[in-house]
């Protein structure tokens, strides 16, 4: 089985706050890893390190065999130049909690922007692919709408289409449904579930336990910058080994209502 993401002993501090204290993660190509854990445990920081938006202090991250952020010359590591860092980043799609679409551009224009500007895709081809992607996220009829004319769930689906337009080999999601009204969560999770079924490799930070249970190959529970436990959903969600995992799951279920989130079909 091919490895898409391999993180080894990744450490990261901000000032004297140790945020990541030696993270080891492996995601095989075509698999979905859901990263769960309390607020402040370092989940977003880890995703930003994978995407080369933050540099790490020690350890290694490889994506599809590329060492992220560094260039190996002889036996020494050198920080990548910004142009090379950007090249690594453009192969990795990222969707955030706040969908950050450009407000003065239609859904279609938001999607074609980077393929044309960054990848040099001819406009006609970029538009054709954008329409195809809008269809995939269920918004074929919204191409010419501005973000303000779309619901939060629709905007987030456009954001997913926009990330996919760059033909990423890996998609990172950072709480993609946390900013949405509850009734809009399912439509976004459904699109993510289809993407997973199509074979996209994904790391998803989420509190949606139903999604994690149904879609994840691996669930990794992180707290205070360390991985407490990791395994298939039937282990981590149904039969957690650590008290910290159990108390976290209890809290999430109490906040979201287990019925509501785990009864969802995606």
Contact footprint for ligand ADP (CB under 6 A): 14, 17, 19, 37, 39-45
Judged by beta carbon, residue 43 or residue 157, the one nearer ligand ADP is: 43
40 binds, among Mg ion, ligand ADP, none (CB under 5 to 8 A by kind): ligand ADP
Give which of Mg ion, ligand ADP, none residue 42 binds (C-beta under 5 to 8 Å, depending on kind): ligand ADP
Q: Is 205 helix (H, G, I), strand (E, B) or coil?
A: strand
Q: Which is nearer to Mg ion, 7 or 121 (CB)?
A: 7
Q: How far is Cα 14 from Cα 89, in angstroms, rounded to an integer?
A: 22
Residues 6 or more apart in contact with residue 33 via CB below 8 angstroms:
5, 25, 27, 202, 203, 204, 216, 217, 218, 219, 220
Residue closest to Mg ion (Cβ)? 44
When the beta carbons of 40 and 257 are compared against Mg ion, the nearer one is: 40
SS3 for 130-180 is: HHHHHHHCCCHHHCCCCHHHCCHHHHHHHHHHHHHCCCCCEEEEECCCCCC
Q: How far is the CB of 45 from ligand ADP (least distance, A)?
A: 3
Three-state SS at 95? strand
- DSSP per residue over 1-69, as a string? --EEEEEEEEEEEETTEEEEEEEEEEEETT-EEEEE--TTSSHHHHHHHHTTSS--SEEEEEETTEETT
The residue count for binding Mg ion (CB under 5 A) is 2
Residue 24 or 194: which CB sits closer to ligand ADP?
A: 24
Find the shortest distance in angstroms from Cβ 17 to ligand ADP: 6
Q: Which does 249 bind (CB under 5 to 8 A by kind): Mg ion, ligand ADP, none?
A: none
For ligand ADP, give the closer residue by CB, 39 or 148. 39
Taking CB within 5 to 8 Å according to partner kind, which of Mg ion, ligand ADP, none is near residue 69? none
- Report the residue from 25, 41, 44, 221 that binds Mg ion according to the rule CB under 5 A: 44
261 binds, among ligand ADP, Mg ion, none (CB under 5 to 8 A by kind): none
CA-CA-CA-CA torsion sign (87, 91, 96, 102) = positive
* Short-list 45, 50, 53, CA closest to 21: 45
The stretch near Mg ion (CB under 5 A) out of 40-48, 65-73, 224-232, 258-266 is: 40-48
* Residue 199 near which of Mg ion, ligand ADP, none (CB within 5-8 Å, type-dependent): none
Indicate if the alpha-carbon torsion angle 226, 232, 237, 239 is positive or negative. negative
- Give the nearest distance from C-beta 56 to Mg ion in angstroms: 17
Nearer to ligand ADP, 113 or 226 (CB): 226
Identify any residues that bridge with 204 across adjacent strands, giving them in sequence order.
34, 173
**Where does this chain bind Mg ion (CB under 5 A)?**
43-44
């Amino acid at each position: 089985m091919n490895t898409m993401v391999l993180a080894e002993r990744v450490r990261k501090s901000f000032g004297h706050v140790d945020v990541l204290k030696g993270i080891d993660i492996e995601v095989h190509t075509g698999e979905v890893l859901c990263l769960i854990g309390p607020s402040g445990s370092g989940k977003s920081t880890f995703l930003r390190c994978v995407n080369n938006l933050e540099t790490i202090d020690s350890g290694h991250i490889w994506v599809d065999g590329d060492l992220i952020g560094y260039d190996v010359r002889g036996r020494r590591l050198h920080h990548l130049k910004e142009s090379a860092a950007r090249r690594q980043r453009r192969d990795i799609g990222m969707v955030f909690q706040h969908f950050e679409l450009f407000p003065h551009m239609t859904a279609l224009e938001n999607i074609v922007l980077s393929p044309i500007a960054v990848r040099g895709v001819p406009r006609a081809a970029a538009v054709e692919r954008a329409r195809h992607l809008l269809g995939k996220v269920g918004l074929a009829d919204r191409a010419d709408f501005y973000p303000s004319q779309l619901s939060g769930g629709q905007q987030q689906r456009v954001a997913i289409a926009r990330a996919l337009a760059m033909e990423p080999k890996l998609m990172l999601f950072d709480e993609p449904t946390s900013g949405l009204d509850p009734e809009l969560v399912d439509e976004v999770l459904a699109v993510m579930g289809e993407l997973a079924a199509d074979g996209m490799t994904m790391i998803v930070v989420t509190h949606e336990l139903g999604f994690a249970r149904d879609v994840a190959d691996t669930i990794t529970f992180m707290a205070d910058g360390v991985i407490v436990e990791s395994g298939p959903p039937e282990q981590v969600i149904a039969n957690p080994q650590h008290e910290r995992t159990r108390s976290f799951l209890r809290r999430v279920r109490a906040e979201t209502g287990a019925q509501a989130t785990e009864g969802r079909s995606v």
